[in-house]
């Protein structure tokens, strides 16, 4: 696993196999960031939230491409240590904050909101996407022009509308699916 573009391009990220971490494949990450760049134009100055952060690859890729700051939340201790290593190896520890805690109980305490870009890559088939997106919507954690990227198993179904957020793009890459949520027109955002 490597950083695809930006200031840390080509840097290898540490990872480990196991039940607790399932890194997003490079090709899926590359496709997602192509979509994001086409929408944002640039990630320069964006505020990023990476939930169920695993190796930290999504936030680190965003930081490499110019994001101003990233908050990463990961409950697993081994994965949190891996994120610290990856942030340090890429030189982004000063532009990131790692919180080792459970995602849903931590979201109400985030002081950095709103976020321009939210990555959500929870354990598959456990109902986390809907609960987490609903919490993000109710707490207004996503900036008005922000994008929330939820990664799920391709067979996993989540509603197209959750709170004031609507899925306006869906992509399938093998066994992985990406759902991109934005504020709905009806919400006035």
pLDDT tens-digit map of 34-89: 999 999 989 999 999 999 998 999 999 999 999 999 999 999 999 999 999 999 99
Query: What mean pLDDT comes out for the span 127-132?
Result: 93
Does the pTM surpass 0.85? The reply is yes
Nearest by Cα to 180 from 26, 5, 33, 2: 33
Rounded to an integer, what distance in angstroms lies between the CA atom of residue 184 and that of residue 167? 9
In sequence order, the 6+-apart residues with CB closer than 8 A to the CB of 127 are none
> Domain locations in the chain?
26-187
With respect to CATH, is domain 26-187 assigned 1.20.1250.20?
Answer: no
Tell me, what's the pLDDT at 188? Answer: 43
Paired residues of 72 in beta bridges:
50, 98
């Amino acid at each position: 696993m490597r950083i695809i573009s930006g200031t840390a391009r080509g840097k290898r990220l540490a990872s480990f196999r196991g039940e607790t971490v399932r890194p997003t494949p490079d090709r899926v990450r590359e496709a997602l960031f192509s979509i994001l760049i086409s929408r944002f134009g640039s990630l320069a100055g964006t505020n990023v939230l990476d939930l169920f952060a695993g190796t930290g690859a999504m936030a680190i890729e965003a930081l490499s491409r110019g994001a101003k700051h990233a908050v990463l939340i990961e409950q697993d201790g081994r994965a949190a240590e891996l994120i610290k290593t990856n942030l340090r190896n890429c030189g982004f520890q000063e532009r990131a904050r790692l919180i080792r805690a459970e995602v849903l109980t931590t979201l109400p305490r985030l002081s950095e909101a709103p976020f321009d870009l939210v990555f959500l890559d929870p354990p598959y088939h456990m109902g986390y996407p809907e609960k987490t997106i609903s919490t993000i919507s109710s707490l207004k954690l996503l900036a008005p022009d922000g994008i929330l990227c939820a990664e799920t198993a391709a067979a996993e179904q989540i509603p197209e509308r959750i709170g004031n957020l609507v899925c306006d793009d869906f992509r399938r890459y093998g066994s992985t699916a990406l759902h991109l949520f934005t504020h709905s027109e009806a919400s006035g955002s």
